[in-house]
Amino acid sequence: MTITESPESLTSSSDDNSNLRRRRGGGAKAVEDVTESDSSSAMEASSSSDDVTGDGGDGRFSDGNEIQEEQNDKVENEEQRKATQTTPLKYVYRASAPAHRRIKESPLSSAAIFKQSHAGLLNLCVVVLIAVNSRLIIENLMKYGLLIGSGFWISSTSLRDWPILLCCLSLPIFPFAAFLVEKLAQKKYMTERVVVALHIVITTAAILYPVLVILRCDSAFLAGVTLMLFACVVWMKLVSYAHTSYDMRQLAKSVDKGEHSDVNYSYDVNFKSLAYFMVAPTLCYQLSYPRTACIRKGWLARQLIKLVIFTGFMGFIIEQYINPIVQNSQHPLKGDLLYAIERVLRLSLPNLYVWLCMFYCLFHLWLNILAELLLFGDREFYKDWWNAKTIDEPVHKWMVRHIYFPCLRNGIPKGGAMLISFFVSAVFHELCIAVPCRLFKFWAFFGIMFQIPLVILTNFLQNKFKSSNVGNMTFWCFFCILGQPMCALLYYHDVMNRKGSAS
């Protein structure tokens, strides 16, 4: 908003204009325009000031006018910007002009803190985080030295994991079997019940086969986890392929019967589309996907460099921080409670860094690299889960498409559908950790299922305090700070106890 001038200033401006006319005949018209602009600006500012102080006669805004206030702020900033650009410097920000025109909150007050950008504070947090952790890394290296051994990346014991590699290479047999089943179903050589039964057999074999290989072979933990993750991805892709194909057959039958005749629908079983789906960075099958035009080689090279850097940083944190803390700890359920809490809190920070690096490397860098190589267009591999207000907010597309909504369509209530979704997730989390450890204590299973009461808790807190921050802080506390370090300690000591009893 422009600045008002006193009558004396307007008079002086008129005198100045007269002097300028006498000295510069060619510029008189421009000075007159400036004077008229200042006079109109002064009238606008005066009327705006009357609006502020004239609401009810007490100088306050009535409740419920927050939107109007924001619009007035925008108008005020725009007018002030224009006035500053067009008005000469001697007419701007006069001492007689009022500096306080509106009722406003402090930027850090609760009423205004979420209505503005905090990029500067975020940059400060990043700088402080880098400085503090750099000091901790240097202090750790000076005290303990470099703890990463020569066999960190590869060792002679890795040669015994060749059955794991052969199992990974043989897993494509199951997608090929699923394609044959769908091809026979398209030609109507078998009934729907037989098709569903065969898909159940194929998907079950696809997950049990790697489990048996890992349990029978003395493989390393990392190799077993990699195989189980790969097997779980294949299982989820096969379920999506079978479920989507079944749904497309049902739609094709409804079109043949005259239902939805206005829909142009064709059902096709294509091996090329299945092969692309099995290597594409998605778990949801469809006949075609949005595609990009070309491969950006420079961008791809930068992502590969980032992947190497963050993978090395993740390995450094594991070897330099997490392993010593875990090895020098006691079982969290068998020792002193305060000591267990101290170990968990000490482990939480490096564990959080590893988890964030793993997420960034897997779900952002690797999936984007794979998508770029395959010209896969849809790069929304994750939502903004870090802003989650409740525990149940970060839900995967596959879970929604093939578990949650099918349960709702079959008459299962929303709570039951959510319970089934968490149960499926808990089973596969347990398989990915317990099978490579050869230890079934169900810590990962109970950790996932424990999120159900946390969902109720975060929803209650969010409704009670009318703030999303409470639910988001609860999410971070239980999801990353307490839950994962506790599971790491439990599995480590149980594995060590099993090895000690076996020896």
Q: Which residues of 372-407 are buried (b: 16+ CB within 10 A; e: fewer)?
A: bebebeeeebeeeeeebbbbbbebbebbebbbbeeb
- Between 451-465 and 414-437, two packed helices, what is the crossing angle to 10 degrees? 130
Q: Where are the beta strands (DSSP E) in 44-174?
A: none
170: number of CA atoms within 13 Å, CB side?
Answer: 12
Name the DSSP letter for residue 477.
Answer: I
Beta partners for 376? 291
Asked whether 186 and 267 are in contact (CB, 8 A), the reply is yes
The answer to whether residue 429 is catalytic is yes
Is there a contact between 392 and 455 (Cβ–Cβ < 8 Å)? yes
Rg (CA), the chain: 33
* H helices present in 113-220, as ranges: 119-144, 162-170, 173-186, 192-216
Token reading at 81: 């910007």
64: phi > 0 → left, psi -120 to 50 → alpha, else beta; which?
A: left
If phi > 0 it is left, if psi is from -120 to 50 it is alpha, else beta; for residue 146 that is beta
Of the residues 199, 243, 396, 429, only one is catalytic, namely: 429
Tokens of 219: 């493989």
Q: Are 389 and 472 in contact (CB under 8 A)?
A: yes
Q: Which two tokens stand for residue 124?
A: 């400060």
Query: How far is residue 433's CA from residue 211's CA, in Å, rounded to a whole number?
Result: 11
Rounded to 5 degrees, φ, ψ at 376 are: -80, 125
**For tokens 């491969």, what's the residue?**
295
Which positions ≥6 away from 403 have C-beta within 8 Å? 417, 420, 421, 424
Cβ atoms < 10 Å from Cβ of 438: 16
d(CA 161, CA 166): 9
Closest CA to 406 of 420, 396, 391: 420
Q: 3-class DSSP state for residue 376?
A: strand
* Amino acid symbol at 246: Y
Could you list the active site residues?
429
